[in-house]
C-alpha cells in the first residue's frame, strides 16, 4: 500500500490518564459540534469501534455533554463496522448504541449505522450511496472523525499489507475478530475537517512511535493525514512512553 510516508503536522497531546483522554475527546467533540452548528446548522461525527473510545462515548451521555451537545443537529456515522448482528458485542454500532446513543436525544433518522446484514461489498456500496445522498452528491466532508489504532498499526478496518481501497467506502476482512467489515477509505477520512486519534495503553507505545516518529509507511494509521483538516493525536502516558519528544503540548512533530 503506497501511503504518504511522513505523518505531517499532527498536534500531539499527552493527557495524564485514560479518563483525561476521554474528557479531552468529549470536549473537542462538543467544541466542534457547537462551531459547525453555528456555522452551517449541522454537525457530522464519525465513530470508530474498539474499546478505547467507549469511555468517551459514555461521557457524551452524561452531563455536561448530554445537555450541551446540539444532538438535534448532530448526525452520527461510522468509520467501520463488523458484519455481525447489532446485539453482538463485536458490533461497533451496537456497542455505541448501548453505551450512549440510547441515552441521548438524537433523532433516530440522524443515526447512520453501516448496513451489516448484507454481503460486505453490497453493504459498502449501500453506505457510499447513503453518504452520497446525505451530502447531496457533493464529496462527503465529515466534521469530526474519531479514530483508533491497533497494535498492528491498522485504523478503521484498513489493515497492514492491504492495498488502499478506492472510493469512499470499502469491504474488508481482518482484525480481531477476523470477520468481514465495512470501512471508510483514506479518500474519505482525509477529507474530514478534523480527525482525532484516541490512543491509550502500553501495548500501543511501539506503533505510536512507529507512526508518529519513524513515519513507518507499513502502518495504515500513518495514512490518515487530512488534506486540509486538522489532525490531533490524544495519547495517555503509556501510549506515548516511547516517543522521544515528551512535550505534552507539542503542536506538530
Edge-to-edge strand order for the sheet containing 230-235?
11-14, 230-235, 194-199, 144-147, 43-47, 74-78
Q: Which is nearer to ligand 6PG, 157 or 194 (CB)?
A: 157
Q: Is 155 in the site for ligand 6PG (CB under 6 A)?
A: yes
The three cell numbers of residue 147 are 479514530
Q: Is 48 in the site for ligand 6PG (CB under 6 A)?
A: yes
The three cell numbers of residue 119 are 454481503
The half-sphere exposure of 123 on its side-chain side, counting CA atoms within 13 A, is 22
Q: In the bound complex, what is the minimum distance in angstroms from residue 34's beta carbon to ligand 6PG?
A: 26
In angstroms, the CA 185 to CA 51 distance is 21
Q: Is 191 in the site for ligand 6PG (CB under 6 A)?
A: no
Q: Is 225 in the site for ligand 6PG (CB under 6 A)?
A: no
**CA neighbor of 156 nearest in space, from 14, 20, 48:** 48
Q: Is 221 in the site for ligand 6PG (CB under 6 A)?
A: no
Q: Is 49 in the site for ligand 6PG (CB under 6 A)?
A: yes
Looking at the DSSP bridge assignments, the partners of residue 234 are 13, 198
Q: In the bound complex, what is the minimum distance in angstroms from residue 70's beta carbon to ligand 6PG?
A: 25
Q: Is 80 in the site for ligand 6PG (CB under 6 A)?
A: yes
Which of 36, 74, 91, 92 is in the footprint of ligand 6PG by CB under 6 A?
92
- Give the torsion through C-alpha atoms of 214, 231, 190, 115, to 10 deg: 110
Which of 25, 94, 113, 148 is in the footprint of ligand 6PG by CB under 6 A?
148
Residues that bind ligand 6PG (CB under 6 A): 48-52, 79-80, 92, 148-150, 154-157, 175
Amino acid at each position: 500500500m503506497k501511503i504518504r510516508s511522513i505523518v505531517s503536522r499532527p498536534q500531539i497531546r499527552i493527557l495524564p490518564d485514560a479518563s483525561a483522554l476521554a474528557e479531552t475527546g468529549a470536549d473537542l467533540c462538543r467544541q466542534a459540534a457547537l462551531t459547525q452548528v453555528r456555522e452551517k446548522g449541522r454537525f457530522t461525527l464519525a465513530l470508530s469501534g474498539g474499546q478505547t473510545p467507549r469511555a468517551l462515548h459514555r461521557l457524551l451521555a452524561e452531563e455536561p455533554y448530554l445537555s450541551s451537545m446540539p444532538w438535534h443537529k448532530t448526525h452520527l456515522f461510522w468509520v467501520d463496522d463488523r458484519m455481525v448482528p447489532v446485539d453482538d458485542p463485536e458490533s461497533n454500532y451496537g456497542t455505541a448504541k448501548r453505551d450512549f446513543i440510547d441515552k441521548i436525544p438524537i433523532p433516530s433518522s440522524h443515526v447512520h449505522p453501516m448496513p451489516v446484514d448484507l454481503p460486505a461489498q453490497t453493504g459498502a456500496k449501500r453506505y457510499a450511496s447513503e453518504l452520497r445522498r446525505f451530502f447531496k452528491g457533493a464529496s462527503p466532508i465529515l466534521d469530526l472523525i474519531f479514530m483508533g489504532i491497533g497494535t498492528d498499526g491498522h485504523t478503521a478496518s484498513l489493515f497492514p499489507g492491504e492495498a488502499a481501497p478506492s472510493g469512499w467506502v470499502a469491504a474488508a476482512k481482518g482484525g480481531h475478530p477476523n470477520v468481514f467489515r465495512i470501512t471508510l477509505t483514506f479518500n474519505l477520512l482525509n477529507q474530514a475537517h478534523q480527525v482525532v486519534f484516541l490512543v491509550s495503553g502500553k501495548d500501543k507505545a511501539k506503533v505510536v512511535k512507529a507512526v508518529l516518529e519513524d513515519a513507518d509507511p507499513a502502518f495504515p494509521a500513518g495514512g490518515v493525514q487530512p488534506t486540509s483538516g486538522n489532525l490531533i493525536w490524544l495519547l495517555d502516558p503509556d501510549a506515548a512512553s516511547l516517543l522521544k519528544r515528551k512535550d505534552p503540548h507539542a503542536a506538530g512533530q
